[in-house]
Amino acid sequence: MGGADNSVIYTLAEVSKHNSREDCWIVISGKVYDVTKFLDDHPGGDDVLLSSTGKDATDDFEDVGHSSSAKSMLDEYFVGHIDSTTIPKKAKYTPPKQPHYNHDKTSDFIIKIFQFLVPLLILGLALGVRSYIKSD
């Protein structure tokens, strides 16, 4: 398959049709590769390649950290280029908006008063009970 006409441009829809063990094409870095003959030899197994069909597999390929010799092997399977306008743009992750926290200073003040008064009330109650018991 190597040495294909470099001017051939495929759409992602066309490449996506080649998604089986008998006919497997993938897209990496704007190029289309027919890796059907490599399925049995792929060190990660054929499932890895088959799961990369129908999409831009560039990130998957780069994330694995392929060696330079693995990258040079791609030339052997090159069949053309991908029309990049047919590849869906990746959605940029935007974290969900957090509700605005209205910090209420009044509730902080009330909490601090209770943190001070409750122990005083307990201490006062304990002293009152103690003096009552001793007076008997």
What does the pLDDT average to over 22-34? 95
pLDDT at 1 > cutoff 70: no
DSSP state of 56: B
Res 88: pLDDT: 85
Domain count, the chain: 2
Q: 75: pLDDT confidence band, cut at 50, 70 and 90?
A: very high
| 106 in the same domain as 66 | no
| 76 in the same domain as 21 | yes
Q: Give domain status of residue 1, yes or no.
A: no
Res 70: pLDDT: 85
pLDDT tens-digit map of 89-130: 876 777 777 766 666 667 778 888 888 899 899 999 999 998
| 112 in the same domain as 74 | no
| 108 in the same domain as 77 | no
Q: 136: pLDDT confidence band, cut at 50, 70 and 90?
A: low
Res 122: pLDDT: 93
| 81 in the same domain as 116 | no
Res 39: pLDDT: 92
Q: Give domain status of residue 37, yes or no.
A: yes
Res 24: pLDDT: 95
Res 16: pLDDT: 94
Res 5: pLDDT: 54
What does the pLDDT average to over 1-8? 60
Res 109: pLDDT: 80
- List the domain range (segments joined by +) for residue 24: 9-86
| 81 in the same domain as 16 | yes
